[in-house]
Amino acid sequence: MLVWRAMVSPPKVHAQAPARSLDQRMEALKRANDIRVRRAQLKKDLKDGRARIEQILHDPPDFVSTAKVFDMLMAVPKFGRVKAARFLNQCRISQSKTVGGLSERQRAELIGLFNK
């Protein structure tokens, strides 16, 4: 007869965020909101054809560096979930990869797909 034993893992310890003053929290919130507004405007510009994804990928503004590449592709006209995922898969890029986290190879391959 086999006896199954449950593996008991140690309890997870959650890291606490450092204590911040009200001024620090408000400043961080202001910066985050500013980034969201600028990204929203960039996505609108992409959708309207006033900005080109190749330029953004080649030399990303600082407010785009933490944005997901998948989300930026979704803002390009004629791009939906399937086409964006296919482009990322062709370049061996995870859907959770950020624009700032792209390697030079990934960046070059992705830009090359747009220039075909």
Please answer whether residues 76 and 46 qualify as being in contact, where contact means their C-beta atoms are separated by less than 8 angstroms: yes
Structure tokens at 16: 């606490």
What is the pTM assigned to this prediction? Answer: 0.77
CA angle 71, 76, 79 (to 5 degrees): 85
Q: What residue spans of the chain are helical by DSSP H?
A: 22-48, 53-58, 69-74, 81-90, 104-114
Distance CA 116, CA 112 (A): 6
Distance CA 114, CA 83 (A): 12
Please answer whether residues 77 and 67 qualify as being in contact, where contact means their C-beta atoms are separated by less than 8 angstroms: no
Residues 93-108: tens digit of each pLDDT: 999 999 999 999 999 9
Q: What domains can be seen in the chain, in order of their start residue?
A: 26-114 (1.10.8.50)
Residues 27-70: tens digit of each pLDDT: 999 999 999 999 999 999 999 999 999 999 999 999 999 999 99
